[in-house]
Amino acid sequence: MKLIPFLPRILLFGWCLTLHAQEPGVGRAVSFKTADAGTVHALLYGRGEPAVVLAHGAVFNKESWERPAKRLATRGFLVLALDFRGYGRSVAGSKPAALHEDILSAVRYLRDKGSTEIAVVGASMGGSAAARAVIEAGEGEIAKLVLLSPARFRHPEKLKGDLLFITSKEEPLVDQIRTAYEKAPAPKRLELIEGRAHAQHIFKTDQSERLSVVIERFLDGPATD
């Protein structure tokens, strides 16, 4: 009987926890298996539709996407920022170098959760892995692809879906990225950012807001020409 006066406080505390768990800007830890029996750990933001997978560069991790992920979540996207195999608690399966398998497993995890339109944003190493994932994915499995200063990848002519290439005007990979863009099929778009910062490093510069807006408008909008 002595607990009864405290019952409203307990219910209020539980209600607050529920609201916090549903807040778009809070990343929730999830994990899932890959086709080669690896395990990917990731952070899931938001509860919307469509969905976006964020794939980091070689010197980054899933936490590095926190600010872009929160922005996208508040715009109504379900956002999954993954740790590639060998990063954080993610572990490789039978194919240690198959980073694209991590992205494909992330896409299929979201599809199992009910997402029907899924985009992938890949930066540098993550861009190369995302490109291969799109090439190997089924038709329509990945609707949109953002390649942010992607590392070199094979067969850009085999890319599918709506494509956005982004690179800094003066970064070392700009010519390589332009060549890949020229070979890629339409619909596609190339966005050149001021400066020489590479991939996610652009978020640390005065071009951060422009980069965020370019990505958000592409994900929000229809197919590009």
What is the per-residue pLDDT across 146-182, written as a single tens digit (0 to 9) for each?
Answer: 999 999 999 999 999 999 999 999 999 999 999 999 9
**125-136 and 99-112 are packed helices; what angle lies between their axes, rounded to 10 degrees?**
60
What pLDDT is attached to residue 13?
Answer: 38
Instruction: Name the percent of the chain lying above pLDDT 70.
Output: 88
What is the per-residue pLDDT across 103-122, written as a single tens digit (0 to 9) for each?
Answer: 999 999 999 999 999 999 99
Predicted TM-score (pTM) of this structure = 0.89
Instruction: Name the percent of the chain lying above pLDDT 90.
Output: 85
Please provide the average confidence, as pLDDT, over all residues in the chain.
90
What is the per-residue pLDDT across 209-223, written as a single tens digit (0 to 9) for each?
Answer: 999 999 999 999 876
What is the per-residue pLDDT across 116-143, written as a single tens digit (0 to 9) for each?
Answer: 999 999 999 999 999 999 999 999 999 9
What pLDDT is attached to residue 24?
Answer: 53
What pLDDT is attached to residue 16?
Answer: 39
Is the pLDDT at 15 greater than 60? The verdict is no
Report the C-alpha dihedral over residues 125, 76, 189, 201, rounded to 10 degrees.
-40
Confidence of residue 25 (pLDDT cuts 50, 70, 90): low
Is the pLDDT at 93 greater than 70? The verdict is yes
What pLDDT is attached to residue 6?
Answer: 39
Domains of the chain: 31-220 (3.40.50.1820)
Is the pLDDT at 38 greater than 50? The verdict is yes
What pLDDT is attached to residue 23?
Answer: 54
What pLDDT is attached to residue 225?
Answer: 54
C-alpha–C-alpha distance, residues 199 and 155, integer Å: 21
What pLDDT is attached to residue 221?
Answer: 87
